[in-house]
Amino acid sequence: MSNDYKQWLSDLKGRIRQSQIKAAVKVNTELLRLYWDLGQDIVVRQMEAIWGGDFFERLSEDLRSEFPEMQGFSRRNLFYIKQFYLFYTQDKLIRHQAGGELHII
């Protein structure tokens, strides 16, 4: 192999790795958006209606049935998604009141 080829291959490998990292970051960003929106939906719907104590269990079963290839929809994770939304909503309110800026993805 020539030195030119080795250098080109090395550069190509680096670009591929960078693309993989960028793709993973975008996927994670979209998942965070989904979890934020889902947390908000859970909070709003639990305030608007009384769906009983098995709400998280039923939602978990329904989502896992519809999206069997996805993980993260266990009863416990759905509860954590709600807590994630509530925690960062509170953080946003505190920062807003203090005059700070918050950038939610």
Structure tokens at 11: 């550069």
Q: How confident is the model at residue 80 (pLDDT cuts 50, 70, 90)?
A: very high
> 101 Cβ partners below 8 Å, 6+ apart?
95
Position 104 in a domain: no
Q: How confident is the model at residue 95 (pLDDT cuts 50, 70, 90)?
A: low
Sole residue written with tokens 């639990």 = 46
How many structural domains compose the chain?
1
User: pLDDT of 14-60, one tens digit each?
Assistant: 999 999 999 999 999 999 999 999 999 998 887 656 677 788 898 99
- What gap in Å lies between CA 29 and CA 26, rounded to an integer? 5
Position 103 in a domain: no
Position 41 in a domain: yes
- What gap in Å lies between CA 56 and CA 105, rounded to an integer? 25
Instruction: Tell me the C-alpha to C-alpha distance, in Å, between residue 64 and each of 29, 70, 77.
Output: 21, 7, 12
Range of the domain at 33: 3-96
Position 64 in a domain: yes
How much is the pLDDT for 44?
Answer: 86
